[in-house]
Structure 1
Amino acid sequence: MMGNASYWGPVARKFADRIRLSAPDLPGHGQSPDWPGTPDFHTHTTRAVAPLIDRPMDLIGHSIGATVALRIAVAAPEAVRSLTLIEPVLFAAAPDPANDAVMEELNMLVETGQNAEAARRFLAIWGGLDWSSQTETGRERLARQMRLVVAGNKALMRDDAHILREGGLEGIDAPVLIVMGEDSPPVIADIADALAARLPDVGRARVPGAAHMLPITHPAQVTELIGLNLDRA
């Protein structure tokens, strides 16, 4: 969210001799077309990614991408050879009043046209990005994308996709690895606990000194962990 597929470049280069990595941009990001408004952002994103899966594949997702990968795995476990979830933001798995308050504040800012302020606050928590160092064009892009953030967060807080339905997580028989940063927002650890408790074959990893954007800030460690899960598959 609010990035583009090029951020996976360091990870992809380390795997150049091992796997073919496809990293599509989210709707409204990078080179992808904008979100048309319907269906909901998470469903539209999932439908954009799902056609890429033409055989059992290794799904690797970060943040909202991890929730899309998990949604696909729940819906079609036979399509997944391994599943690596980096900082999954499925907020419905571990409702947290403090996190809910932050999300409601972001919603209010976007609804009242204060997109730039919403982006600044969002990125201070989740982006690890210095707002003041961005170019004017960059700030305008990030502010514009906040409506997509809000739309995605609403679905994740309510679990509109029913990812957490009874028997769903339990039906994933592929090896799963949940990766998080040591300095990530506290809700991430709670989400990881909730998901791990229901997954049949799951490993956990915490990257020291990393926060939410660890695929960018700690690509070597993330690549090594992904590789371990590929080995398990």
Structure 2
Amino acid sequence: MSALHLRQWPGQADRPALALHCMMGNASYWGPIAKALSDKVAIRAPDLPGHGQSPDWPGTPDFHTYTTRAVAPLIDRPMDLIGHSLGATVALRIAVAAPEAVRSLTLIEPVLFAAAPDPANDAVMRELSDLVAAGESEEAARRFLSIWGGIDWEAQTPAGRERLIRQMALVVAGNDTLMQDSANILRAGGLEAIDAPVMILMGAQSPPVIGNIADALAARLPDIGRARLPEAAHMLPITHPRQVAELIGMNLDRA
């Protein structure tokens, strides 16, 4: 397995934290948050497989499993884990598998759809998969980003559009885990075994399924805090880094 490209920022070297980005993002967007939290932690953040400067996903095992296995070696002591969207589901999967490795856990807009099945959302995700299978990945990317990306498609460079179109294959490849919980993240006793402080952050303007997921996870986590940013949507680490950093900091202090 090829090593992931790792970005890191100055901070408290005796308290390392690991931040995992969203689908179609890269680790660079953690920079402002890492700077704001440098008095508390030293944040490192990998570009996930097929993103940024990291190697592509080779096709097997499934994308979520491959990503989790690539990230796990970066955790060499009890660590503060921070994840956004896809990254939040990877962080949660690690926390369920190895609760002792987690000092605190911050989940920003976790997209573990299996925690709160939503027929409307499931239909959209199936439609995206069908578009990719039919060779219409550009239309799939447009639709996906109109819901989850918060970006102007027309403002993207040709190279940027090409990258986003290519990454739709990763979106589809993650569906079994996110929609069906093929990784068994939600197994009996799994969430309940996480004794580290957990915080779930979300934007009030995000798709309704996010609130339902947050409710379902929070009901099972022993030590949980929640926050909702009124003006924010799914990409709040990018659009509202100061507020997100403050809220992460509160969870760090709880640990």
Q: Aligned partners of 1:26 and 1:55: how far apart in 2?
A: 20
Alignment of 1:213-228 (within 5 A): 213-228=235-250
Q: Aligned partners of 1:3 and 1:230: how far apart in 2?
A: 24
Percent identity, please. 80
2:141 alignment counterpart: 119
How far does the alpha carbon of each residue in 1:160-208 deviate from its partner, in whole angstroms, 9 at most, with x for none?
1100000000000000000000100000000000000000000110011
Report the residue type matching 1:26 in the other structure: L
Q: Aligned partners of 1:125 and 1:10: how far apart in 2?
A: 24
How far does the alpha carbon of each residue in 1:73-98 deviate from its partner, in whole angstroms, 9 at most, with x for none?
00000000000000000000000000
Q: TM-score, normalised by structure 2?
A: 0.90
2:78 alignment counterpart: 56
Give the structure with the higher percent helix.
1
Q: CA deviation at 1:215?
A: 0.2
SS at match of 1:31: coil
Alignment of 1:56-135 (within 5 A): 56-135=78-157
Q: CA deviation at 1:114?
A: 0.5
The answer as to 2:55 corresponding to 1:33 is yes
The answer as to 2:255 corresponding to 1:197 is no
How far does the alpha carbon of each residue in 1:36-72 deviate from its partner, in whole angstroms, 9 at most, with x for none?
0000000000001100111100000000100000000
2:163 alignment counterpart: 141
Q: Aligned partners of 1:220 and 1:12: how far apart in 2?
A: 10
Alignment coverage as a number of residue pairs = 233
Q: CA deviation at 1:151?
A: 0.8
CA RMSD of aligned residues (A): 0.6
2:172 alignment counterpart: 150
Contact 2:40 2:249 in 1 (8 A): no
SS at match of 1:107: helix
SS at match of 1:21: strand
Q: Aligned partners of 1:222 and 1:75: how far apart in 2?
A: 26
Contact 2:204 2:229 in 1 (8 A): yes
How far does the alpha carbon of each residue in 1:121-158 deviate from its partner, in whole angstroms, 9 at most, with x for none?
00000000110111111111100010001111232101
Q: CA deviation at 1:3?
A: 1.1
SS at match of 1:43: helix
